[in-house]
């Protein structure tokens, strides 16, 4: 075998670091006859495959270096699939931790309550609420929480430390056999660093008593690397009632890597508390009862805790690539809210307040084995895998509140639920320019609910099989084409699956299906025909058998029928010069029910809250002497607020700017400006009835909104060591 050189280093000297980078950044086996790319700056991996791949496997072709995206041709199975690297993540300012998900083209992250509550998400014609139909994972651990006190699929990412995120891998649509619950609209998998390039000590100060301190470093320990991170933050926000949000966060991670394997063990702990300003009715502002940043119930708020222990391992052998992970999570939440004020209870003031609380334990894991399965002279790779997740909630409850205290129990439950998944997927290269991906997935859900309402207790099981098929053609003229077809599902809240009595009204209701089928298809292309420009285009559609979801706010199942969505996504990443990167992502979509929903006269086919237009424009400037900068503009357009589309939200446009200056080799100063143009738009809008003092018993239907935060500045001093 010829001697390989990477830059000025021999393979023997450079290989250990490259091996680690390979396993961090290339979790899947290379597709047959498809070169694999990594984003190792300044290194060519011409010879890496000869060392990593088993005997007889085809070697990797030369790679293209891309510092911020790994979205070139021959790197994915769909036009809407991609990877964002740490280099881009560190350049963009984020108002909230979960905004790292906006690196996924078409995703919008907003908030309608306090900073400690899970964000509101939008994608592909969905108002995803707090996470339903968009699956999120951090280092293999699921973020979505089923049968959650506030809403099924609740995805709280406020415990995430963005500086530790090494890469974001994203997919959209139900075309991938290894993705299960909550992933019909999309999935984002956030991977953490094993080893930081440098230690970080940073201090951020900003308006409204904002403060954040971070200390993180990775050091050698016991033949591996030990990474630790400590974070503390505080914020009052622009609200008339100070938010008094504070959080404490800690991460401890041990990892080892060799030529053929990588293993990590990670412990995390997080706690937060806050006072929240929820959405308010427009008429209250018009009448001068409250300002745009005011609260009608100042006793709303919440507290949460989360601890976790996770394990990941990957190992290459002559048999192929083996991957496994396991996790244990414990969390608590208490959330105090009031959205209707006195609609249900006329006295005393703000008597509609409710409290949602839960205590949860989660155990789970996944394993997969990929191996070469050549037949008939064709290169083929097959992957088989399994996943299991078990949740215990004791209790999960909905309570009547007053002044932030519980005064009555609406419903309290103890829930056990499990979800088992089995899948197989085969990739076969029939010609150098034609490849197929064929897969199938089987999922089985089991729930056991004990409730304070006798009619809402019981057990139930359900299963579902989901086939997948993709065709990948090309590349020709630096352009490849995709046809993706697939069936998936989303689960429903276990309480809604069992319930036969509405907790608040005491009236009979129909239980929700445990697993709801989704079917989707996509036509796409990805091209690099223009030098320096990566572009992708995807035309997609998605059908959902039912949008029945459990409403934590009401304590019962809210009925909605089958729906369909379709849209177009056009994403562009352009390296204009060595120091300037430009992004332009556009997504348009439409969502409607198969049959009219709602009560006359508001019956209609429109899905409330379904986003129709999302535009994101960005520019990153780097390597201009000591200066660097980033500009990001995002727009999400008007949305129907009720089924007949007679009430619509306005569009929202926000811009962020970061200006950085390198004081010396180790120290950097950065100024972040959020809402640069001081937009007076809304983060979220709803249309429903609420009742203020002096209003009729049936209340008043009105637009309720949560304003975007006004222009604010944050200054960060960062020292690397």
Judgement on whether residues 334 and 433 belong to the same structural domain of the protein: yes
Give the confidence band of 32 by pLDDT, cuts at 50, 70, 90: very low
Residue range(s) defining the domain that contains residue 628: 82-720
Judgement on whether residues 41 and 94 belong to the same structural domain of the protein: no
The answer to which of 29-33, 569-573, 609-613 has the lowest mean pLDDT is 29-33
Kindly report, residue by residue over 452-495, the tens digit of the pLDDT: 999 999 999 999 999 999 999 999 999 999 999 999 999 999 99
Report if residue 70 sits inside a domain. Answer: no
Report if residue 687 sits inside a domain. Answer: yes
Give the confidence band of 213 by pLDDT, cuts at 50, 70, 90: very high
SS (H, E, C) 428-463: EEEECCEEEEEEEEEEEEEEEEEECCHHHCEEEEEE
Q: How crowded is residue 147: how many other Cβ atoms within 10 Å of its Cβ? A: 28
Q: What are phi and psi of 332, to 5 degrees?
A: -140, 150
Q: How crowded is residue 510: how many other Cβ atoms within 10 Å of its Cβ? A: 11
What whole-number percentage of the chain has pLDDT above 70? Answer: 89
Q: How far is CA 208 from CA 34, 161, 240, in A?
A: 52, 21, 11
Judgement on whether residues 40 and 158 belong to the same structural domain of the protein: no
Q: How would you label 90-121 residue by residue, b for 16+ Cβ within 10 Å and e otherwise?
A: ebbbbbbbbbbbbbbbbbbbbbbbbbbbbbbb
Q: How far is CA 364 from CA 176, 214, 263, 418, in A?
A: 20, 30, 17, 9
For residue 645, the surrounding DSSP H or E stretch is none
Q: What is the pLDDT of residue 546?
A: 86
Q: Which residue has the higher pLDDT, 1 or 194?
A: 194
Give the confidence band of 67 by pLDDT, cuts at 50, 70, 90: low
Determine the Cα–Cα distance for residues 572 and 592; give it in Å rounded to an integer. 28
Q: What is the pLDDT of residue 662?
A: 96
Q: Where are the alpha helices (DSSP H) in 230-322?
A: 282-286
Whether 264 and 225 have beta carbons less than 8 Å apart is answered as: no
Q: What is the pLDDT of residue 648?
A: 96
Whether 440 and 517 have beta carbons less than 8 Å apart is answered as: no
Give the confidence band of 428 by pLDDT, cuts at 50, 70, 90: very high
Judgement on whether residues 36 and 111 belong to the same structural domain of the protein: no
Whether 501 and 95 have beta carbons less than 8 Å apart is answered as: no
Q: How crowded is residue 505: how many other Cβ atoms within 10 Å of its Cβ? A: 11
Whether 77 and 71 have beta carbons less than 8 Å apart is answered as: no
**Residue at a domain's end among 37, 52, 67:** 52
Average pLDDT score over residue span 168-191? 97
Determine the Cα–Cα distance for residues 700 and 706; give it in Å rounded to an integer. 18
Report if residue 73 sits inside a domain. Answer: no
Beta bridge partners of 669: 661, 717
Judgement on whether residues 192 and 43 belong to the same structural domain of the protein: no
Average pLDDT score over residue span 656-673? 97
Q: What is the pLDDT of residue 605?
A: 92
Determine the Cα–Cα distance for residues 243 and 679; give it in Å rounded to an integer. 21
Q: How far is CA 687 from CA 282, 308, 450, 611, in A?
A: 10, 38, 34, 15
Q: Percentages helix, strand, coil for the chain, rounded to the nearest 5?
A: 5, 55, 35
Tell how far CA 538 is from the center of its chain.
Answer: 20
Report if residue 77 sits inside a domain. Answer: no
SS (H, E, C) 2-28: CCCEECCEEHHHHHHHHHHHHHHHCCC
Tell me: pLDDT of 245 over 70: yes
Q: How crowded is residue 670: how many other Cβ atoms within 10 Å of its Cβ? A: 21
Kindly report, residue by residue over 130-171, the tens digit of the pLDDT: 888 999 999 999 999 999 999 899 999 999 999 999 999 999
The answer to which of 264-273, 369-378, 430-439 has the lowest mean pLDDT is 369-378
The answer to which of 281-295, 504-518, 522-536, 689-703 has the lowest mean pLDDT is 504-518
**DSSP, res 691:** B
CATH number of the domain that 661 lies in?
A: 2.40.170.20
Q: Which residue has the higher pLDDT, 504 or 174?
A: 174
Average pLDDT score over residue span 305-329? 96
| DSSP conformation letters of 209-256 | TEEEEEEEEEEEETTEEEEEEEEEEEE-TT-SS---EEEEEEEEEEEE
Determine the Cα–Cα distance for residues 184 and 128; give it in Å rounded to an integer. 11
Beta bridge partners of 614: 587, 636
Tell me: pLDDT of 64 over 80: no
Whether 574 and 624 have beta carbons less than 8 Å apart is answered as: no
| DSSP conformation letters of 25-47 | H--SPPPTT-------TT---TT
Task: Single out the residue of 65, 157, 67 nearest to residue 118, CA to CA.
Answer: 157
Give the confidence band of 31 by pLDDT, cuts at 50, 70, 90: very low
Judgement on whether residues 107 and 247 belong to the same structural domain of the protein: yes
Judgement on whether residues 330 and 446 belong to the same structural domain of the protein: yes
The answer to which of 448-457, 545-554, 708-717 has the lowest mean pLDDT is 545-554
Determine the Cα–Cα distance for residues 496 and 514; give it in Å rounded to an integer. 8
Q: Is 92 helix (H, G, I), strand (E, B) or coil?
A: coil
Give just the sign of the alpha carbon dihedral 182, 183, 186, 192. positive
Tell me: pLDDT of 1 over 90: no
Of the ranges 60-64, 554-558, 683-687, the best mean pLDDT one = 683-687
Tell me: pLDDT of 29 over 70: no
Q: How crowded is residue 244: how many other Cβ atoms within 10 Å of its Cβ? A: 16
Determine the Cα–Cα distance for residues 138 and 167; give it in Å rounded to an integer. 10
Judgement on whether residues 586 and 706 belong to the same structural domain of the protein: yes
- What domain count does the chain have? 2
- What's the pTM? 0.89
Read off the tokens for 564: 């369909």
Judgement on whether residues 464 and 318 belong to the same structural domain of the protein: yes
Residues in the chain: 721
What whole-number percentage of the chain has pLDDT above 90? Answer: 81
Adjacency order of strands within the sheet including 141-142 = 82-85, 165-171, 186-192, 134-138, 141-142
Tell me: pLDDT of 62 over 60: no
Judgement on whether residues 380 and 526 belong to the same structural domain of the protein: yes
Q: What is the pLDDT of residue 19?
A: 33
Determine the Cα–Cα distance for residues 611 and 606; give it in Å rounded to an integer. 11
Report if residue 75 sits inside a domain. Answer: no
Greatest CA separation for the chain: 86
Half-sphere exposure of 2 (CA within 13 A, CB side): 7
Judgement on whether residues 141 and 284 belong to the same structural domain of the protein: yes
Determine the Cα–Cα distance for residues 71 and 38; give it in Å rounded to an integer. 10
Average pLDDT score over residue span 108-134? 92
Report if residue 524 sits inside a domain. Answer: yes
Tell me: pLDDT of 15 over 70: no
The residue assigned the tokens 């002279």 is 377
Q: How would you label 423-456 residue by residue, b for 16+ Cβ within 10 Å and e otherwise?
A: bbbbbbbeeeeebbbbbbbbbbbbbbbbbbbeeb
Q: What are phi and psi of 455, to 5 degrees?
A: -70, -10
Judgement on whether residues 614 and 691 belong to the same structural domain of the protein: yes
Q: Is 136 helix (H, G, I), strand (E, B) or coil?
A: strand
For residue 87, the surrounding DSSP H or E stretch is helix 86-91
Q: What are phi and psi of 285, to 5 degrees?
A: -70, -45
Q: How would you label 205-228 residue by residue, b for 16+ Cβ within 10 Å and e otherwise?
A: ebbeebebebebbbeeeeebbebb
Q: What is the pLDDT of residue 600?
A: 66
Beta bridge partners of 366: 325, 387
**DSSP, res 119:** P
Report if residue 332 sits inside a domain. Answer: yes
Report the chain's mean pLDDT, rounded to a whole number.
89
Give the confidence band of 417 by pLDDT, cuts at 50, 70, 90: very high
Read off the tokens for 533: 């420009």
Tell me: pLDDT of 638 over 70: yes
Report if residue 76 sits inside a domain. Answer: no
Q: Is 193 helix (H, G, I), strand (E, B) or coil?
A: coil
Tell me: pLDDT of 516 over 90: yes
Determine the Cα–Cα distance for residues 405 and 417; give it in Å rounded to an integer. 29
């Amino acid at each position: 075998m010829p001697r390989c050189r990477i830059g000025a280093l021999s393979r023997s000297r450079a290989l250990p670091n490259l091996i680690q980078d390979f396993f961090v950044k290339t979790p899947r086996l290379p597709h047959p006859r498809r070169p694999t790319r990594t984003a190792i700056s300044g290194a060519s991996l011409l010879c890496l495959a000869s060392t990593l791949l088993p005997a007889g496997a085809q070697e990797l072709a030369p790679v293209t270096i891309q510092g911020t995206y790994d979205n070139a041709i021959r790197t994915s199975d769909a036009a809407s699939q991609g990877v964002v690297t740490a280099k881009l993540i560190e350049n963009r300012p984020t108002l909230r931790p979960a905004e790292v998900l906006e690196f996924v083209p078409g995703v919008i992250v907003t908030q309608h309550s306090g900073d400690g509550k899970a964000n509101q998400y939008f994608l592909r014609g969905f108002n995803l609420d707090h996470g339903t139909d968009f699956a999120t994972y951090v280092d293999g651990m699921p973020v979505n929480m089923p049968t959650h006190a506030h809403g099924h699929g609740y995805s709280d990412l406020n415990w995430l430390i963005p500086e530790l995120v090494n890469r974001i891998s994203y997919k959209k649509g139900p075309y991938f056999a290894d993705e299960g619950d909550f992933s019909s609209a999309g999935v984002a998998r956030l991977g953490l660093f094993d080893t930081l390039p440098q230690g970080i000590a940073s201090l951020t100060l900003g308006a409204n008593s904002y403060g954040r301190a971070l200390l993180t470093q990775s050091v050698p320990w016991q033949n591996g690397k030990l990474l630790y991170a400590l974070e503390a933050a505080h914020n009052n926000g622009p609200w008339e009632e100070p938010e008094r949000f504070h959080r404490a966060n800690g991460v401890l991670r041990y990892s080892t890597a060799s030529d053929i394997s990588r293993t990590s063990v990670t412990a995390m702990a997080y706690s937060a508390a806050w006072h929240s300003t929820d959405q308010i009715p427009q008429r209250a502002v018009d009448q001068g009862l409250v300002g745009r940043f005011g609260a009608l119930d100042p006793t709303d708020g919440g507290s949460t805790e989360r601890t976790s222990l996770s394990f990941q391992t990957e190992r290459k052998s002559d048999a192929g690539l083996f991957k496994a992970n396991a996790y244990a999570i414990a969390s608590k939440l208490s959330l105090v809210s009031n959205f209707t004020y006195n609609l249900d209870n006329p006295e005393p003031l703000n008597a509609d307040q409710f409290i949602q609380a839960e205590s949860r334990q989660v155990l789970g894991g996944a394993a997969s084995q990929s191996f070469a399965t050549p037949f008939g002279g064709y290169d083929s790779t097959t992957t088989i895998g399994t996943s299991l997740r078990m949740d215990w909630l004791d209790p999960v409850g909905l309570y009547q509140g007053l002044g932030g205290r519980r005064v009555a129990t609406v419903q309290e439950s103890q829930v056990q639920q499990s979800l088992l998944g089995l899948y197989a997927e085969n990739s076969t290269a029939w010609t150098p320019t034609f490849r197929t991906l064929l897969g199938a997935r089987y999922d089985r859900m089991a729930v056991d609910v004990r409730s304070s309402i006798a009619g809402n207790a019981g057990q139930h099981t359900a299963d579902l099989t989901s086939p997948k098929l993709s065709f990948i053609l090309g590349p020709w003229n630096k352009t490849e084409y995709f046809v993706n077809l697939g069936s998936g599902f989303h689960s429903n809240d276990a309480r809604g699956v069992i319930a036969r009595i509405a907790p608040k009204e005491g009236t009979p209701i129909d239980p929700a299906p445990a697993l709801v089928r989704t079917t989707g298809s996509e036509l796409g292309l990805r091209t690099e025909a223009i030098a320096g420009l990566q572009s992708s285009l995807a035309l997609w559609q998605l059908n959902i058998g039912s949008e029945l979801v459990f409403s934590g706010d009401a304590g019962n199942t809210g009925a909605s029928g089958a729906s369909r969505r379709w849209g177009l996504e056009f994403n562009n990443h352009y390296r204009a010069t060595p120091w300037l990167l430009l992004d332009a992502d556009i997504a348009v979509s439409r969502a409607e029910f198969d049959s009219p929903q709602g009560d006359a006269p508001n019956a209609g086919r429109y899905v409330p809250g379904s986003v129709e237009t999302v535009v994101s424009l960005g520019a990153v400037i780097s390597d201009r002497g000591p200066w660097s900068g980033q500009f990001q503009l995002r727009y999400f357009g008007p949305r129907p607020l009720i089924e007949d589309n007679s009430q619509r939200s306005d569009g929202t446009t926000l811009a962020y700017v970061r200006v950085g200056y390198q004081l010396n080799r180790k120290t950097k100063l950065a100024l972040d400006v959020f809402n640069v143009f001081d937009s007076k738009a809304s983060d979220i809008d709803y249309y429903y009835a609420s009742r203020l003092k002096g209003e009729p018993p049936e209340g008043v239907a009105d637009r309720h909104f949560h304003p975007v935060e006004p222009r604010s500045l944050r200054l960060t001093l960062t020292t690397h060591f």
